[in-house]
Structure 1
Amino acid sequence: MLKPVVPARQGKNLAGDTVSGVCQGTLGELYQGPLRAGTDPEIAVVSFPVDRHSWVYFSPGTAAGPPGPHPPPLKEKSATAARLFLDHYGLALPPGDWLTHSELPVGVGMASSTADIVATLRCLFRVFSLPYATEVALGILAEIERADSVFLDEFALYLSGRHQVVRRLGRDVGFHTAFVTEAGTVDTAAVTPLLLDHYRRRGEEYQGCLTDLLKGFDSGDRPAVARAATISAALSQEVLPKATFSTLQAHRERFGADGVFVAHTGCLVGYLFASRPQPDVKSDLSAFFHSLGHQCTFAQGGYG
Structure 2
Amino acid sequence: MTGEHRVRGFGATVAGVCHGTLGELYQGPLRAGGDPEFAIVSFPVDRHSWVYFTRETGPRQAPPFGEKTAAAVDLFLDRLGLTLPPGRWSTHSDLGVGVGMASSTADIVATLRCLFRVFSLPYDPDVVMGILSAIERADSVFLDEFALYLSGRHRVVRRLGTDIGFHTAFITEPGTVDTAAVTPLLLGHYRRRAAEYDRCLTDLLKGFAAGDPPAVARAATTSAVLSQEALPKSTFDAVLAEREAFGADGVFVAHTGSLVGYLFCRRPAPAVKNELSAFFHSLGHQCSFARGGYG
Taking structure 2 as the reference length, what is the TM-score of the superposition?
A: 0.96
Q: State how far apart, in whole Å, the 2-side matches of 1:143 and 1:64 are.
A: 30
> Offset at 1:16?
3.2
Please list every run of 5 or more consecutive structure 2 residues that lacks an aligned counterpart in the other structure: none
Q: Sequence identity of aligned pairs in percent?
A: 76
Aligned to 1:49: 44
Is 1:37 paired with 2:32? yes
Aligned to 1:125: 116
Q: Which amino acid aligns with 2:48?
A: H
The C-alpha deviation readout for 1:92-139, integer Å capped at 9, x for no partner, is 001110001000111000000000000000000000000000100010
Q: State how far apart, in whole Å, the 2-side matches of 1:23 and 1:35 are.
A: 26
Q: State how far apart, in whole Å, the 2-side matches of 1:73 and 1:90 are.
A: 23
Aligned to 2:222: 231
Q: Which of the residues 233, 240, 251 maps onto 1:249? A: 240
> Offset at 1:64?
4.5
3-state SS of 1:135 partner: helix
Q: CA 1:81/1:291 → structure 2, altered by over 3 Å: closer, same or farther?
A: same
Q: CA 1:163/1:64 → structure 2, altered by over 3 Å: closer, same or farther?
A: farther
Q: State how far apart, in whole Å, the 2-side matches of 1:200 and 1:71 are.
A: 46
Q: Which amino acid aligns with 1:40?
A: D
Preserved contact between residue 64 and residue 94 of structure 1 (Cα < 8 Å): no
Preserved contact between residue 47 and residue 156 of structure 1 (Cα < 8 Å): yes
| Aligned length, in residue pairs | 289
Preserved contact between residue 53 and residue 102 of structure 1 (Cα < 8 Å): yes
Aligned to 1:213: 204
Q: Which amino acid aligns with 2:256?
A: T
Q: State how far apart, in whole Å, the 2-side matches of 1:117 and 1:95 are.
A: 20
Q: Which of the residues 18, 26, 50 maps onto 2:21? A: 26
Aligned to 1:17: 12
Is 1:153 paired with 2:148? no
Please list every run of 5 or more consecutive structure 1 residues that lacks an aligned counterpart in the other structure: 1-11
3-state SS of 1:114 partner: helix
Aligned to 2:76: 85
Q: State how far apart, in whole Å, the 2-side matches of 1:155 and 1:222 are.
A: 13
Taking structure 1 as the reference length, what is the TM-score of the superposition?
A: 0.93
Q: Which amino acid aligns with 1:190?
A: A
Q: Which amino acid aligns with 1:53?
A: H
Q: Which of the residues 261, 264, 267 maps onto 2:252? A: 261
3-state SS of 1:110 partner: coil
Aligned to 1:191: 182
Q: Which runs of 4+ in 1 moved over 3 A?
A: none
Q: State how far apart, in whole Å, the 2-side matches of 1:111 and 1:63 are.
A: 34
Q: Give the stretch that moved more between structures: 222-231 or 70-79.
A: 70-79
